[in-house]
Amino acid sequence: MNLPSALAYQNGVKRKVRTKKKKGTITANVVGTKYEIVRTVIGEMAFLKTRDEDETANFIWNDSAVQHEKIAELRNYQRINHFPGMGEICRKDCLARNMGKMIKNQPQEYNFSPKTWIFPAEYTQFQNYVKELRRKRKQKTFIVKPANGAMGHGISLIRNCEKLPAQDHFIVQEYLDKPFLMEGYKFDLRIYILVTSCDPLRIFLYNDGLVRMGTEKYHAPNESNLNQLYMHLTNYSVNKHNENFERDETADKGSKRSIGWFTEFLRTNDYDVAKFWGDVSELVVKTLIVAEPHVLHAYRMCRPGQPPGSDSVCFEVLGFDIILDRKLKPWLLEINRAPSFGTDQKIDYDVKKGVLLNALKLLNIRASDKKRNLAQQKAEAQRRLYGQGSMKKLSAGSSEWEKQRHTLERRKEELKERLVQVRKQISREEHEKRHLGNYRRIYPPDDKLLLEKYESLLSAAFETFLAGRAASLQKEMNNPLKRMKEEDILDLLEQCELDDEKLMGKSARQRGSKTLTSMPESAHVPRRQKDFSSSSSSCNNSSSSASENDDDDEQKDDFRQTKTVSYSLGESKHKSSERSNGSGNVFITNQPGPLRCPIFAGHSALFPPFFFFFFCTGVCYTRESLLNLRTKEEEAELTQQTLATLSEMRIRFPGRSEEEAEMILDEILDNWKYHKPKVASYWLVKLDSTKQRKVVDIVRTNLRSVLQRVWREPDVESLHLYRLFNRIFNRLLWSHGQGLWNCFSNSGSSWESSFGRSSEVVTVQELQCCRRVVQLCKDCLLVVYKFVQDSRGSLTGLIWSFGRYTPTVQCAEVWE
């Protein structure tokens, strides 16, 4: 007899033998669900179902929303299927209220939600709208829904609006009376959406779903058919009770069909399927952008100690109900945070099993997470106990050296934290690409322009819903480090180490450069170079000295010497022909042609609306796309063309000719001793990091346009030259703009020193392009500084010069 059996029958009473949990097992608590398909999926994923009272499981599923307290109590290795705050778009009244605010803010983008009124608060507005319709002799049908209803309960259609009670809680929507029909029936789409994280936001759309059809032929609403809900409502819970409801085991027949079949139906009938799915994706992302401020704020309140970018303990599978009008435009009906996972038919089983199975694979729940989390908690407790890793606070009598060291240490910690986040993000994206299954990621999108639009809407949503609150979230949204890649952060970290060594008086690595915390003292007046190829000679002596320190490494030495060679391209200063500009725009221009490219979309809050760049290459290029692979000779030729284009670009002062602008810049540099402290105060003190970045973005945005035109490449992010430019911009903004300021003197850090330490090959032409970019940034700063200085003295003249730009004074005040 084996021992466990003997113990089990001790004293004649049979006892349960508790089986020991295997190591490396992922546990799941599914006591909160009534759907068998959830248990089937966790079985296929080899998760071990735990006891009902076990709250330490890796995976927890609840059909209904969970309390904030429960989310706050979760360990970092756990995952639960609801976000706090998601009710802001999942309750019908909350969705209507929040969408209404965004419609006022962004009416062109949020035009996919029917007009909605929340009773009783908006009863008067609704009655006024009805009176206006009556005055125009129009009559519309409205649909009445309970504020927090579900499954079609309590829904009715009305045309006689006087009968609506004024004190009841419900919502009233305009009824879409011209829907897209299929075989004469009205239908809607159930789209399944997976949100894996809110910090940062990550959204996935499942490529299949359900088409839910009405069970009576559709006719436009009139007094005689308003009560025929089987015609006007598409809810499955309503139509399944009709005798005409067709249950079919195939995906292309019956009253419930698959979206996969519907997509093929559209393609067969020559509809634009790509546009259709693009519209649906935009609708989903824009709706979740409305929820993001609420969800992120609630999540941070529940998880206050969790660093940004760490694995989310929450995820959510949402059911978006979308209806199409006769032009195939999608309209949002409602969002379900607890979509039904019942499997009455085979099509339900196939679609919903795929939704759950692919979602669990994307979540990347690992058995080692629990052990790793416990080890992290233990290490954190030891750090708190022994005071390790915590930065010392500065005392009131700290010396200037101690303050500089403390600032440097803080910056290093911030960069290291961001580097950890970026690497986690890279690892997460690699896992997602391997385990997408039938999902596709719709946020963040791969399209850079679309991403910029979404980020602009996200910023507008934070300003709309968290105005005056959650200042840390607003500040984090504008953090320049969020946009940096791994190599950029490593570059800045290396600079921190070099600065630290210089501050400590070490001489082992003299190739680096020191971060200045005060205005550099220049022994001579810097003159703006006539020849752009040597315009930053005052900034590259660090790079030159770097190549002299490593004589033992012949290959590196030759490489650095190659990059510090300066080639003369002629002594001519490209003077532009005198060209009056009555509209008062700041331009980067060149002589040959009139091609124009305004660049301030989305920046009107920080810049005067009359700052633009005009440029043209003087060369005619075709718009045909190039092959991704180019020969070295082709790249050298394109780099040379870019250099020629950059050499012809100029900054022009508002309301002045190009010649006058050149004279203004020369005057500033001729009297540099007078202007130097004023420019330093404006750039290093008055402008915060966000506005400093906007100044540099003036040049950056134009460079994107130049590269797109010269290289005939819409996605310039992949170009080696553009990556070099980005490194320069990051270096110029280094230490709160100290990098750009150092370029006005012989002392301080040099942006070229980063190339001297890198193993990346930079050709002479590329280095000359970079020098020209730096010169444009310097000129741009001086123009902005001079404009603000002049406008402060005579605002009335400014308004007269730019009278058609109404926010001029306000923008000038922002600059000041």
Tell me if residue 318 falls in helix, strand or coil: strand
User: In this predicted model, what pLDDT tens digit does every residue of 727-738 receive, in sequence order?
Assistant: 888 888 877 788
Peptide bond into 444 cis (omega under 30): yes
Q: CA geometry: angle at 234 spanning 228 and 238, to 5°? A: 70
Q: Is the pLDDT of residue 293 over 50?
A: yes
The Cα 684–Cα 693 span in angstroms is: 12
Query: CA dihedral defined by 159, 162, 166, 172, rounded to 10 degrees?
Result: 20
H helices present in 58-114, as ranges? 68-73, 87-90, 92-105
Q: Quick one: DSSP state of residue 85?
A: T
The Cα 4–Cα 18 span in angstroms is: 10
Which of 392-401, 496-505, 637-646, 788-797: highest mean pLDDT? 637-646
pLDDT at 389: 55
Across 710-734, b (16+ Cβ under 10 Å) vs e yields bbebeebeebebbbbbbbbbbbbbb
Question: DSSP secondary structure string, 555-573?
Answer: HHHHHHHHHH------S--
Question: DSSP secondary structure string, 488-544?
Answer: HHHHHHHHHHHHHHHHTT--S-TTS-PPPSSPPP-SSPPPPPSSGGGTTGGG-HHHH
User: In this predicted model, what pLDDT tens digit does every residue of 163-178 receive, in sequence order?
Assistant: 788 777 888 999 998 9
The Cα 429–Cα 364 span in angstroms is: 11
Query: CA dihedral defined by 802, 806, 809, 811, rounded to 10 degrees?
Result: -100
Number of Cβ within a 10 Å radius of residue 371: 13
Q: CA geometry: angle at 113 spanning 111 and 116, to 5°? A: 120
The Cα 171–Cα 96 span in angstroms is: 8
Q: Is the pLDDT of residue 191 over 90?
A: yes
pLDDT at 23: 58
Tell me the residue type at 256. K
The Cα 48–Cα 66 span in angstroms is: 22
Tell me if residue 297 falls in helix, strand or coil: helix
Confidence of residue 475 (pLDDT cuts 50, 70, 90): low
pLDDT (average), residues 550-565: 39
Q: pTM of the entire structure?
A: 0.66
User: In this predicted model, what pLDDT tens digit does every residue of 321-352 receive, in sequence order?
Assistant: 999 999 999 999 999 999 999 888 889 999 99
pLDDT at 22: 55
The Cα 731–Cα 753 span in angstroms is: 10
Say what percent of the chain tops pLDDT 70.
Answer: 73
Q: What is the mean pLDDT of the chain?
A: 75
